[in-house]
Amino acid sequence: MTRRLIATLVIAMLASLTHAQICVNEFRISEPGTDTMNFVELAGGMAGGALDGHTLLSISTEFNPGEITFAIPLDGESFNADGFYVSDQTTSGVDYFGSPQAFVLVAGFTGMGGDDLDMDDDGVFDAAAPWSSVVAAVSLVDGDDNADVDYGFGVIVGPDGDFTPAHGFLTEDCGSTWEIGDFGDFSGDTPGATNVVPEPSAFALLLVGLVGIIRRRR
């Protein structure tokens, strides 16, 4: 009995540790013209680790706030060999929209896409959320005059001027600093691979050096 109890506790601790490491690592929700390259990337999973029992949600935080815009069940899906998982328009069949929203990875989801968790739009869920736990989340905001609702998911990215960031990524995989990418430049998009922080150009480095020389001569 004691051995079984210890084994159960170890498994529970490992599951908790695995969940603690998983994050929303990168996203693209808009691009010039017709959307074809949008995605949400998860990182921090075990190589080949299964995502059974998990669901990726998009919850609107501006237009009809609290509505589950889409719910993507991840049963049968798994992290790649480097610990990344990408839900894109091809794999999910979802065209991610470019408005304020929260991407939320949950376990034990019992609801469905289209459910409105905040029918009076007061920023508080009307009842207990239809999931057992939140594994990872990020909220995207814009800078226009319409108020964005914060449902307390913690991490907030944006705005990008008046707009919701079209692309965003953590400068270090599952780190703490978000970088807003470019609407029309896909060179910084790295779905399914480690994120790359754009290196300063040679001209920029030269300019910084010249400024430093000028300051020293003063």
pLDDT value of residue 12? 43
Residue 3 lies in a domain: no
> No. of H helices and E strands in the chain?
3, 10
Residue 63 lies in a domain: yes
> What pLDDT score does 91 carry?
83
Nearest to 178 by CA among 217, 137, 214: 137
DSSP state of 193: S
| Residue 187 placed within a domain | yes
Q: What is the pLDDT of residue 10?
A: 39
Tokens for 132?
A: 């057992």
Given CA atoms 92, 93, 94, 95 in this order, what sign does their dihedral have?
Answer: positive
Neighbours of 143 (CB within 10 A): 12
Q: How far apart are CA 51 and CA 44, in angstroms?
A: 12
- pLDDT, position 64: 92
Question: Is residue 4 included in any domain, yes or no?
Answer: no
pLDDT at position 94: 85
At residue 66, the pLDDT reads 97
Give the contacts of 59 (CB within 8 A, at least 6 positions apart).
66, 67, 68, 69, 101, 102, 104, 117, 151
Total of domains in the chain:
1
The pLDDT, as a whole number, for residue 65 is 96
In a domain, 5, yes or no: no
pLDDT tens digits for range 38-49: 999 999 999 999
| Residue 17: inside a domain | no
Instruction: Give residue 154's domain range.
Output: 23-217
Supply the pLDDT for residue 13: 41
- DSSP line for 94-133: ----SSSEEEEEEES----TT-BS-TT-SSS-SS--SSSE
CA distance 36 to 20: 31
Has residue 48 been placed in a domain?
yes
Confidence (pLDDT) at 1? 52
Report the phi/psi class of residue 101: left, alpha or beta, with left for phi > 0 and alpha for psi in -120 to 50. Answer: beta
User: What whole-number distance in Å separates Cα of residue 131 and Cα of residue 36?
Assistant: 30
Residues of the chain predicted below pLDDT 70:
1-20, 196-218
The answer to whether the Cα torsion of 45, 47, 51, 55 is positive or negative is: positive
Res 132: pLDDT: 98
In a domain, 14, yes or no: no
